[in-house]
Chain A
Amino acid sequence: MINYLYNLGRFYVNSFKDFKEYIYFCLIIVSQFLTFKLFNPAVFLVTLRQIYFTGVQIIKIHLFIATIVGIGLVGLFGKFLFSIGAYEHIGKVLVLVIIREFAPLITTLLLSFRSSTAIGTEIATMKLNNEIKTLNSIGINEYNYLFLPRVFSGVVCIFSLSVFFAFVSIMVGYFILSFKLNMTMDYVVKMVINELSLDDIACFIYKTLFFGFVITTTPIFTSMTTVSKYSTDVPISLLKGMMRLFYGLIFVEITGLLI
């Protein structure tokens, strides 16, 4: 029993220490962002590449999933609302379900599976092979050259892909509604805009920015703190990073509900 309590206490103390270090790491990232190092040609090139890997390469599958969600949610749910005579609420449903929840969350999940794992592995391997030390040896700060472009591209890509997701889903849903129920585009857009409040926009921006920040900083931080000199540290850091990422996403999702 004493051992159990001892382990539990150690777990919480270590978690708190890790969290404190993570906050400190995030503060450094933000402070580096304010130095405008992103405009350094070498850093800018890495940023463009990261935006390509994170945001452009995923567009096809993202479009496909947005279409499926559009058909499934907007189309079928819209038809259901019409069948029960509650079609005047369709705008609210679109705003609540697509813009506030599904667009940021599904985009984040997709990028987490694809890019967070890639970023985590890449940084872990670089740490293991002393490549980060190489960068330091030539006077290059790893926060500027490696971390900042990845975090920035994560934030930019989640935001823009979420906007894209919401647009595609609503458009696909509209097509279904227009075929079956003779709704005009003008009517759907008007309903969505009427229901869209400042809170919804703030929630969307909050979620996309923080999701983007969390899905990039968590794997980077975990790789940097977990990997030392053994190759077995790489899968451990990936596993730890993905679990922490999961907690991070839940945190952002719950705090997003407060807006």
Chain B
Amino acid sequence: MRCIHLIDCKEQEDGLIAKLLEVNSASLQIYIIAKELPLISNLSVIENIVLPASYHKNARLKDYIEEALRYLEGFGLADKVHKRRDDLDEFEQMLVKYISCKIVEVKNIVFMTPMKFIAPEKFEDFKRFLKNCDENYLIIDYNKFYNEYNDIDKLNIMGFDEWLIHALKG
């Protein structure tokens, strides 16, 4: 299911992030992709990707590397495997988080105010990515950017709590 929840101010955004962090404090159920939650700077791209899976599934990092490399190649990031966060642009960082989410097999994703951090020239790429994304996702963004998402099919406007209940029910 593709949903969008519209907000008006920064306080709402902070409140929603806090709510999502609380949901994840017990177990990882929703993958949050937000500028406020950056990649870990002292880990490489591949280490950032496999970290949640290795931690939650008690498995060695090696077990996920092949799969992660396949995803990275698919998104054209094969040359960034051993790079650090600061060598990637915002869109690439978002892709790395998305791959990490795929590897750890979390089915619900929240994109927090993507318009704020994805550069305008990369926004078309981001929309193309959203159109192909098959997870249950929620975009949370400011009202004023709503028109930017017009051409994404089947994007429902939904209240945050409603989406959360739906997501947690699985």
Report which A residues bind B (CB closer than 8 A).
Answer: 40-43, 45, 122, 125-126, 129-131, 133-140, 145
Contacts and interface: CB of A to CB of B under 8 A. Distances in A.
Given A40-B58, A137-B24, A137-B32, A130 B38 contact: yes
A122 B55 contact: no
Interface in B43-90: 51-52, 54-56, 58-61
B128 to A, nearest CB: 25
Nearest to A133: B37
A219 to B, nearest CB: 16
B24 A41 contact: no
B40 interface: yes
Nearest to B32: A137
Contact of B58 (A41, A45, A122, A125): A41
29 contacts: A40-B58, A41-B59, A41-B60, A41-B61, A42-B54, A42-B61, A43-B55, A126-B41, A129-B38, A130-B37, A131-B38, A131-B41, A133-B21, A133-B37, A134-B38, A136-B25, A137-B20, A137-B21, A137-B24, A137-B32, A137-B34, A138-B24, A138-B28, A138-B104, A139-B25, A139-B56, A140-B51, A140-B55, A145-B55
Contacts of B55: 40-43, 138-140, 145
Query: What's the dominant secondary structure at chain A's contact region?
Result: helix
A76 B95 CA distance: 64
B28 A139 contact: yes
B150 interface: no
Q: Which of A40, A41, A42 has the most CB of B within 10 A?
A: A42
Contacts, number: 62
B27 A139 contact: yes
A145 B55 CA distance: 9
Nearest to A144: B55
Interface in B4-25: 20-21, 24-25
Given A138-B104, A140-B55, 4 more contacts: A129-B38, A134-B40, A138-B24, A140-B51
Contacts of A131: 38, 40-41
Contacts of B32: 137
Given A41-B58, A41-B59, A45-B61, A139 B40 contact: no
B99 interface: no
Contacts of B132: none
Contacts of A135: 40
B36 interface: yes
